Amino acid sequence: MRNRRGRERRESGGPPGQLPWARVTNPFPPLELLRPEQLDAIDDAAFTILEEIGLDFLSPEAMPVLRAGGADVEPGSQRVHFGREVIREWVGKAPQHYLVKGRDPARDVGFGGNEMVFSLVASAPNCSDLEHGRRPGSFDDFCRFVRLGEVLNAVHVFGGYPVEPVDLPAATRHLDCQRAFIELGTKPIHAYSLGRRRILDAIELVKLGHGIDDQTLEEAPRLTSIINTSSPLRLDGPMIEGMLELAARLQCCVITPFTLSGAMAPATVVGAIAQQHAEALAGIAFYQMIRAGAPCAYGGFTSNVDMKSGAPAFGTPEYFRSTVISGQLARRWRLPYRSSNVNAANSVDAQAAYESMFSLWACVAGGANFIKHAAGWLEGGLVCSLEKTMLDADLIQMIRACMEPVVVDSDALGLDAMREVGPGGHYFGAAHTLARFETAFHAPMISDWRNFQSWQEAGSPDAARHAHDRALALLDTYEQPPLDSARKSALDDFVERRKREGGVLAA
Amino acid sequence: MRNRRGRERRESGGPPGQLPWARVTNPFPPLELLRPEQLDAIDDAAFTILEEIGLDFLSPEAMPVLRAGGADVEPGSQRVHFGREVIREWVGKAPQHYLVKGRDPARDVGFGGNEMVFSLVASAPNCSDLEHGRRPGSFDDFCRFVRLGEVLNAVHVFGGYPVEPVDLPAATRHLDCQRAFIELGTKPIHAYSLGRRRILDAIELVKLGHGIDDQTLEEAPRLTSIINTSSPLRLDGPMIEGMLELAARLQCCVITPFTLSGAMAPATVVGAIAQQHAEALAGIAFYQMIRAGAPCAYGGFTSNVDMKSGAPAFGTPEYFRSTVISGQLARRWRLPYRSSNVNAANSVDAQAAYESMFSLWACVAGGANFIKHAAGWLEGGLVCSLEKTMLDADLIQMIRACMEPVVVDSDALGLDAMREVGPGGHYFGAAHTLARFETAFHAPMISDWRNFQSWQEAGSPDAARHAHDRALALLDTYEQPPLDSARKSALDDFVERRKREGGVLAA
């Protein structure tokens, strides 16, 4: 039925048919790029880094926690060393699999195991679409992308602000954005660990918006947050504050070193991964020291720079390899694994597509559980693109279709159809074909399979143009999900009060 | 060194640095999409097709061979039935691995095992480039693409005429093209099985051009040919004539049913594969009946049609699955496996890139040995594109880079660099980085990693534009490989004589 609807709508210029929303399980065995003894060597290098060099924790609040957990804090210093048994003990307390809940329980997703959770692009300072061009993000843009993320079945969660609404004051921006996430969508949301006040506000808002108390909040995370180390080998104060508050409430932190090989990490993939591994393990151990069992994930974000210009590169062979190897490391530590769908293209051209495909297949081959920036990322993350969001959603759906189980039975084998058609015939009119006319094959949202002449007569639309039209048509179908009026009032009251207080300036 | 040269040339607008020519081995374990009992069911369905329905062989010349081999030829009919033991016996005689030789022994490649051989696009009636647009192919175009295929290290072999030179008379076209393959290139070449005369001419030309006698020709194939069944369940006369002559001389035939699901095969991937499997196994058995041990390969070309329009679709989830499953079947029959890098886009846009990436990753995951149309195919094969050729060559090089062994040693791990840089530093000036400045990372030929402003100031070139410029720069480096003057005269004399005789009209 969905395929038929998809075709009808496409003909009429309406929204494309989507696959139904579903939790996605990756049935393919992960690629084992490194041998066990090579993984041992990386583990050992990470241990050596943490024992010998150590990590700087840029907040005194971390120190009592670290000391109590058995880490070695240099007196009067930010430098912290970890013995390998301390790391093993604490990382071993992290859960292997957990639910992350949306406002609508039908949108809950699982982190870990073989599950794949796809998030909308996050944290781009700019956005773009073919109609309005490239521009700094506004709150209107933010809301538009949240609506698109809500309506796209390929998108499971919001991984952060799709675009930074720079027209809103920085001190209260998080209040508007967190409220908009809750009001405009039903899927799991994200909060930035940019200091204690913002995180506490986000925690309060999700409780008010979901209509839950502290105890229910602790039953399963409703907020995810990305903890980026300030590589090399540092964890900054605002991130530490976020971790302290989120772990205390059993919310989810994804510890993701930002290790660009050749810039913030050694100029070898293996060296950058060793550093990433040390930073991630230390961060996860610290998170467990705050509260054992707090949901977290191992984040890999190791790519390379163009050595000549220093520009970050994404969707490269180095990115492929680091993504797959990071997955091996996360699995041996029994941690949910986060990676990303990234590229460094400046427009939605062939480069954007092939770099994204290298990234997405790396996520599949690497067994990634949480694929951040899965839809919409362009320009190495500097742009959230309307067309790229739609294109990526289509790629995710195609990957889902590749992963569906293959049925081999007499109906699928179709021997009766072959007997009916015989040598030299054709299958267009066969009963076996007619019975499958509407549903036989996956219907992509963007691919244009018309012949050249028809395509030319239609104005030679490229994939970016189709993506633009399909995104607008899908946005037209968006309806704001209902929210209980008492919860709505509670959200508004909280936001109004906190704005009166000056937002984070009043903290 | 290659990376440094690549960068220098790119800055100066010169040709891009390429990876060196190399035989390519796929180190990744193949994806096992179907379970063994599901593969048994497909084998069994193929046997049932060949036993019950049978195949039409559209040439009386095939019948004595088939009868002698134990097939069941209906008297006075083209219909041939095969018992499963007959199929098992003859297919079992096919070699699992063999060399295919070029004019230059340094360009020999291996078919089978874990090797991957990438061929230039073949058989497109049209060609296109950004400068001259889309047009029917000419002999000038043919030669230009052969030069590009010769100079591209990512291309191993010529898989047929990259574009059909429709300005040459059909009766003698093969003489000009086969001579041009030999004169302009050194890599292994292809001959079309379009009747006995053309194949005999191609055999004679390769002997003259390579300066070898019949015995040397039989030592290893120097010609590959694609045998397409006229699906469903037919093998036509011109193909049979080619098989008879090529098998007799131990040249290589790739038996490739053209089974578009929903058109020439059932509207299920599994049914289309069952039919493909029956056709391929019968063709390979027949090839071995002509001469046991003749080199051949199992070709898979199962994709789906858009059920509404009948247009063929490529690089779809169905294509991915059929490519991977066909690889499983080829491996269980111990046959080299041919697949393709295909897409149905009308321009070198995001669709062309992502459909090609689905195809290429299917070839990697499916363990394909011979990847036809690996560089240059557009519009479902109706166009040979200059820019797509270059883009695909870059994708092949990126895949090769993903496959390179990962070294994990103390140098790669870089602990000394981390000790030098410490928490909060950066690696730009580290000794470990400076030692790798030129060679650290794979340098793609096309990807543009400049920031948006620089890219915009340069005229916002997309990947197709870069591919165009890089292809022209590479073509500028082409030098015709030397050919012994006696061989050259022999080629010319043969072509002239055969043209005087009227080419295939005189057969």
Q: Write down the pLDDT at residue B12.
A: 44
What pLDDT is recorded for position A4? 38
Q: Which of residues 297-316 of B touch A (CB under 8 A)?
A: 304, 306-313, 316
Interface contact B447, partner A, CB < 8 A: yes
Question: Can you give the pLDDT at residue A285?
Answer: 98
Nearest CA of chain A to the CA of B217: how many Å? 36
Q: What tokens does B365 get?
A: 């995951």
Q: Give chain B positions within 8 Å (CB) of A451.
A: 311, 379, 382
| Cα distances (Å, whole numbers) of residue A170 to A161, A177, B467 | 13, 11, 43
Provide the Cα torsion B370, B374, B378, B380; round to 10°.
10
- Residues in chain A, pLDDT under 50: 1-12, 507
The tens digit of pLDDT for each residue in A20-62 reads 999 999 999 999 999 999 999 999 999 999 999 999 999 999 9
The DSSP code sequence of A119-166 is EE---BSEEEETTTEEEE--HHHHHHHHHHHHH-TT--EE-S-SB--T
Say whether the ipTM exceeds 0.85: yes
Reference A329, options A41, A7, A1, A19; nearest CA is A41
Given its phi and psi angles, is residue A34 left (phi above 0), alpha (psi -120 to 50 degrees) or beta?
beta
Instruction: Note if the pTM is more than 0.80.
Output: yes
Per 3-state DSSP, what percentage of chain A is helix, strand, and coil (rounded to 5)?
45, 15, 40
CB pairs under 8 A between A and B: 383
- What is the predicted pLDDT for the residue at A7? 40
> What pLDDT, on a 0 to 100 scale, did the predictor assign at position B5?
39
In angstroms, the CA B236 to CA B56 distance is 8
3-state secondary structure (DSSP) of residue B61: coil
Are B452 and A346 in contact, with CB atoms under 8 Å apart?
A: yes
Phi, psi of A439, deg, nearest 5: -125, 5
Interface subset of B 221-240, CB within 8 angstroms of A: 230, 232-234
Q: Would you state the pLDDT for residue B437? A: 85
Rg (CA), chain A: 24
Of A268, A353, A442, the CB nearest to B436: A268
CA–CA min distance B333, chain A (Å):
19
Chain B partners within 8 Å of A407 (Cβ): 270
> pLDDT (tens digit, 0 to 9) for every residue of chain B, 507 residues total?
334 334 434 444 578 899 999 999 999 999 999 999 999 999 999 999 999 999 999 999 999 999 999 999 988 999 999 999 999 999 999 999 999 999 999 999 999 999 999 999 999 999 999 999 999 999 999 999 999 999 999 999 999 999 999 999 999 999 999 999 999 999 999 999 999 999 999 999 999 999 999 999 999 999 999 999 999 999 999 999 999 999 999 999 999 999 999 999 999 999 999 999 999 999 999 999 999 999 999 999 999 999 888 899 999 999 999 999 999 999 999 999 999 999 999 999 999 999 999 999 999 999 999 999 999 999 999 999 999 999 999 999 999 999 999 999 999 999 999 999 999 999 999 999 999 988 889 999 999 999 999 999 999 999 999 999 999 999 999 999 999 999 999 999 999 999 999 999 854
Closest CA to B281 of B43, B484, B16: B43
List the domain boundaries for chain B.
24-29+96-403, 36-90
3-state SS assignment for residue B479: coil
- pLDDT of A94 reads 98
Smallest CA–CA separation between A211 and chain B, in Å? 42
Q: What is the 3-state secondary structure (H, E, C) of A162-215?
A: CECCCCCCCCCHHHHHHHHHHHHCCCCEECCCCCHHHHHHHHHHHHHHHCCCHH
The predicted structure's pLDDT at residue A446: 97
Q: What is the pLDDT of residue B9?
A: 41
- Mutation for testing the A interface, residue in B302, B349, B382, B445 having most A CBs under 10 Å: B349
- State whether residue A436 sits within 8 Å of chain B by CB: yes
B24-29+96-403 domain in CATH 2.170.190.11? no
Query: Are A7 and B308 inside 8 Å of each other by CB?
Result: yes
Asked if A344 is an interface residue toward chain B (Cβ–Cβ < 8 A), one would say yes
Distance between CA atoms of residues B507 and B503, nearest Å:
7
Q: Is A351 close to B447, i.e. CB distance below 8 A? A: yes
